[in-house]
Structure 1
Amino acid sequence: MPRIRLLDPSVVGTIRAGEVIDRPAAVVKELVENALDAGSTLVAIHAASHPERLIRVQDDGTGMSREDALLALRRHATSKIESVADLSRIRTLGFRGEALASIAEVSRLMLSTRSIDELTGTQVEALGGAVIQVSGVGRAVGATVTVEDLFFNTPARLRFLKSREAEIRVLSRIVWNYALTYPRVHWKFSVEGREDTDLPEARDLLERWEVLYGRGSEDGAAEFDDEAGGIHVSGVLGAPEQARASRDYQTFAVNGRVVSSATLGAALRQGYGNLLPGDRYPLALVLIEIDPSHVDSNVHPTKREVRFRDEARMFQVLRRAVEASMRRYVPTGIAFGEGGVAERPSGAGTYGGAGTTGEGPAVAAEGRSTTATLAPAGAALKAEEALTLALEVSSTEAAADPRDRERGDVEESLAEPEIPIWQLHERYLIAPIRGGMVILDQHAAHERILYEEARAHLYGGTGASQVLLFPRVVDLTPAELDALLMLEPHLRRLGYEASLFGERQVAVRGVPAAIPEEAAIDSLRAVLASVDTLGEGGEPPEEHIAKSFACHAAVRSGQALGPVERRALFDRLFATSLPHGDPHGRSTYVRVSMEELDRRFGRR
């Protein structure tokens, strides 16, 4: 007797059903996608507190005839495709014809539906994949699918379900993802004894965004829209300060289908750059429209994942679109000179060093003081000059849409010449602005400034060097000496001048002109000590050196700054390309509005 045998069709069906339907959330996903494919403008989802006991999805789509309703419960019966060639032209969310059959295989299912061409509807009841009753029913056009006792005939699957809270959380996430992706659809979602949400049709993505993420969430969010190489990307991106500790609040949809994609996730994260710390993830809705022949939607049993024909191009298109959108949050520093004419402060440039000068903060006059003077070298700020923290918004743009002016993080100005800037606990700088105040982290802000200057020198021209009156002899370990010899060209571009002075010593004759001597020597040691991690994660050595140098050369928490230095720090921070965060992604400043202060004091 042969040991290999053909499985019974009922066993095969149960195995296949387990590939498509692995938890209650999968049921909701399949039924919601069917509803959207049917052109529904209203989708209502209800779940019991234990969702495996009851799930009901109702829609007002085109519905089905009696004949189609019976065929829909048979495996691989679909109206979406007819031939293999159709798989490369898929525009619908469903196409395999497996969803209803797989759900029916492992549950008690009731399908009630009516098409616009029929006067009465059809109700089909199935148990474990077998149709047990078909009857007529009076109902409106559309469909209602009720799923009870999920996995009643596969108890092993039940044991693998997580807690009811976890299952409800995953199920809710499916609903919210599609509610975000389809703002023109009216969504109703209820969980027995927990939540009851009604989301009427929204005007746009931002309106639906605010409803789901709370009042005020749209203030820092911005819609984006870009197209390149036949790929259209759009959606909503949350401000950096809205980032979360997990990726759960990122929604990706490809041709209308919500998917998970490591490629898209990595492109989104890189688009934010160092505006975010490494352990934070942006809040985002990303919608991608692409030729169906360039994406494979059939690589996963539940269609949760997709594969792009050109993953690299998809990555670059999304990354660049996000990167461009993030610049909307970047304010620009403007100093008003004589006659009130706005002038860009010296040292302002673009990311990568274009247009950035070699001048930095001058060294304090007191010999080897460790306190950096933050005013640009050779250009002391006049007391009557006013620092403004404002986005460069043209008058035509402001008149066209007032909301555009509110999408920056700092949109107020220090327009009065005598506006004070206070130092709090020698760590933070506080300045009043119209509509509130701005609080700046002095170390993070200076680190951002030095990072961009160092980066400009490493990728471009050599930075200015300050020759020391007495060379500093520095003792190095063998590893540090090897690192010095390896990094010598990069260090020279930063402004260091050093030569061997004994077996394990070097004589430092020049340091970067923008940095006090002690801070420059400490930064040199830090760069040499970090050589072991050089190149980790594919990071160019210039990036690694610039970050390490800036981190150790910046003014420290606990370091007192004078009035001119405080104002210069604001001015130079907002002349950088990305003042939002330091090179590690930590925030450099926060804005506190009057509305928030009023709420704190009970005035609103």
Structure 2
Amino acid sequence: MNNIRILGEKVASQIAAGEVVERPASVVRELLDNSIDAGARRILVSVEGGGKRKIKVSDDGSGMSRDDLLLCVERHATSKIRSVSDLFSVRTMGFRGEALPSIGSVSKMVITSRPESELVGHVFRLAGGKALSLDETGCPPGTSILVRDLFYNLPVRKKFLKSPRTEMHHIVDTVTRWALPFPEVEFTLEDDRKRVLHFPAAGDKVMRLSSLFGREVAASLLEAVDKGPGMHISAYLAPPEFFRNRGDRLYVYVNQRNVRDRFITRAVLEGYGRRLMKGQYPQAVLFIQIEPSRVDVNVHPTKQEIRFRDGRLVFTKIVAAIERALAVQFQTFVETEFSGRAWSPPLSVQEPGQMDFSQASQSAIQEAKPLMRSSGDEPLIIGNLGNTYILCQAREGLLMIDQHAAHERVVYEKMRRDFGQGKVQTQVLLVPIKLDFPVKEAKILAEKGSMLSRFGIELEHFGGTTFLLREVPALLSGAKWEDFLSELIPDLEKGRLQDQGEVDDMFMRMACHSALRAGHSLTHEEMSLLLRQLLEMDLPSNCPHGRPIFRYLTYPEIEKMFKRVV
């Protein structure tokens, strides 16, 4: 007796349906693809019970004839491709010919459709993939597909569905994601006959983005663009301060197809870089238009996974475009050029968090003074709030700068630059600092403390658990050394501080320990120098940990606060 058998058509269809139809939102996704490919300009999605009881998608697209209705529920029946070569030039949302057969095999389905060229439409009823009836009917041009009792014939699958509220959440997310790249199409979503979403037809993607993100975020969006042969990248980026704790507001489209691709997500996060702290995600929409022959969309039945022929190039271009857009964010507020020598760090021991400008050249201070005056586009330093925030009058409003975050960025960038050039500026201490550590920490420092010398830190084991700190980076002369070195001991124990990421983490800690603290009083000259140094940095909008350095309050926003304008 044979152990291997050929599966029956019914079982095979239900297995195939399991790959395409995971939950009610999967049905909505596939039906929206069909409506868009049919050239619809109005799409209405109606659901009941979170889509478990009913899903109905109606459109005003091209519609189907009687013969096409009969074919559309057959597996691999499609109007999109004719040969294998067509898979490499797909420009439609659907192309497999699997959606309707898969949905029909696990539900009770009614398809009503009429092409505009015909006077009468047809209604096709199916249950579990079996045709029940095909009749003439009066209906408007377009197609309406009703799906009832999803997984009625697969009770085990039905038990795995979540609550109506959870399933509805996924449907809302799906309709939102499909509405973004098609602003010319009106999308409406109803839940138990109550309108949940409505995206009216818009003139462009920016108007549709406003409906999605809300006015405040939409008004702050930055546009990133990269154009090249065979590929065009455009992104709309919310500034880092509008971060979220999950990636649900990161939307990626390749040839208008919504994809969930870790590769692209990683590129977007790398583009934001240190502007976001760990566990933070940006609000952003990324559109990639690329020659179909350079991307494979036939990777997964859901069509949400893709492969690029030259993934490294796509990754690099995404990162570069985002970095360029975010790099000009600060200059958008302060459009001016600053020249002159940067401040040189003092060589005397400082108190933690102190910023001593006593050894800054007098010429540098004189050159910085224009920042204190009103001179057109240049910012005017008007004071300091709570010895924490530097206040500037800028061209478009009030600029507020966190002095600790700003100084931390300055120190971090300088240490990275000096380390990369192999010339970390150090200070030999005339009187070594005596430090005591717990036995376990002292043992690790005695064995691996020499690893710190490349960062300008020279420790001498004085005996037992005592060490002498003889040389330190000039920028860290005021750090609390026992606390700082205790933080580094776990990294030393595990042999870290080798690759660039670990070295950057080291510099972040060093910068945080050496930066001036909130509450420290600065003179106008010191604030001017700090602002000058900040503007010379590659990334002035965030501290190394990702916290924002500045906030901007425009004149219109201020006038609204005081009810001067409505």
**What TM-score range do you get, normalising by the shorter chain?**
0.7 to 0.9
* Corresponding letter in the other structure for 2:313: R
Distance 1:196 1:518, change over 3 A: closer
Cα shift at 1:250: 1.1
Is 1:319 the counterpart of 2:302 in the alignment?
no
Distance 1:274 1:198, change over 3 A: same
* Corresponding letter in the other structure for 2:177: N
- Residues 368, 525 of structure 2: 8 Å contact kept: no
- Residues 231, 288 of structure 1: 8 Å contact kept: yes
- Residues 334, 395 of structure 2: 8 Å contact kept: no
Worse overlay, 203-212 or 322-331: 322-331
* Corresponding letter in the other structure for 1:210: S
Per the alignment, in what secondary structure is the counterpart of residue 67 of structure 2? Answer: helix
Cα shift at 1:100: 0.8
* Corresponding letter in the other structure for 1:80: K
Match of 2:420 in 1: 459
Is 1:51 the counterpart of 2:51 in the alignment?
yes
- Residues 429, 442 of structure 1: 8 Å contact kept: yes
Match of 2:141 in 1: 141
Is 1:300 the counterpart of 2:286 in the alignment?
no
Cα shift at 1:573: 2.5
CA distance in 1, matches of 2:494, 2:115: 65
CA distance in 2, matches of 1:197, 1:518: 54
Is 1:489 the counterpart of 2:454 in the alignment?
yes
CA distance in 1, matches of 2:393, 2:240: 22
Describe the superposition over 1:401-455 as per-residue Cα deviations: whole angstroms up to 9, x where unpaired.
Answer: xxxxxxxxxxx96645xx432232x544444556653333332221111100111
CA distance in 1, matches of 2:256, 2:69: 25
Cα shift at 1:470: 3.6
* Corresponding letter in the other structure for 1:346: R
Cα shift at 1:555: 1.5
Write the mapping of 1:307-346 to structure 2, written as runs, cut at 5 A: 307-331=307-331, 343-344=338-339, 346=341
Distance 1:444 1:384, change over 3 A: closer
Write the mapping of 1:136-215 to structure 2, written as runs, cut at 5 A: 136-192=136-192, 194-215=194-215
- Residues 332, 574 of structure 1: 8 Å contact kept: no
Write the mapping of 1:18-167 to structure 2, written as runs, cut at 5 A: 18-167=18-167
CA distance in 1, matches of 2:245, 2:557: 24
Is 1:216 the counterpart of 2:211 in the alignment?
no
* Corresponding letter in the other structure for 1:153: N
Gaps of 5+ in 2: none
Cα shift at 1:168: 1.0
* Corresponding letter in the other structure for 1:134: L
CA distance in 2, matches of 1:101, 1:375: 78
Distance 1:125 1:529, change over 3 A: closer
- Residues 120, 137 of structure 1: 8 Å contact kept: yes
Per the alignment, in what secondary structure is the counterpart of residue 50 of structure 2? Answer: coil
Cα shift at 1:279: 0.9
- Residues 446, 461 of structure 2: 8 Å contact kept: no
Per the alignment, in what secondary structure is the counterpart of residue 550 of structure 1? Answer: helix
CA distance in 1, matches of 2:141, 2:344: 71
Cα shift at 1:84: 2.2
Match of 2:249 in 1: 249
Write the mapping of 1:514-529 to structure 2, written as runs, cut at 5 A: 514-518=475-479
Gaps of 5+ in 1: 337-341, 348-358, 391-411
CA distance in 2, matches of 1:130, 1:457: 73
- Residues 114, 120 of structure 2: 8 Å contact kept: yes
Q: Which 4+ residue blocks in structure 1 deviate beyond 6 angstroms?
A: 332-336
* Corresponding letter in the other structure for 1:344: S
Match of 1:423 in 2: 385
Please give the TM-score of this superposition, normalised by the length of structure 1.
Answer: 0.83
CA distance in 2, matches of 1:550, 1:84: 57
Distance 1:521 1:228, change over 3 A: farther
> Among residues 352, 361, 369, which one is paired with 1:385 in the alignment?
369
- Residues 427, 442 of structure 1: 8 Å contact kept: yes
Distance 1:22 1:243, change over 3 A: same
CA distance in 2, matches of 1:346, 1:146: 71
CA distance in 1, matches of 2:551, 2:17: 51
Distance 1:244 1:540, change over 3 A: closer
Match of 1:556 in 2: 517
Cα shift at 1:596: 4.9
Cα shift at 1:275: 0.6
Cα shift at 1:156: 1.7
- Residues 78, 96 of structure 1: 8 Å contact kept: yes
Match of 1:351 in 2: none
CA distance in 1, matches of 2:372, 2:237: 26
Distance 1:117 1:37, change over 3 A: same
Aligned residues: 557
Cα shift at 1:592: 3.5
> Among residues 545, 548, 551, which one is paired with 1:584 in the alignment?
545
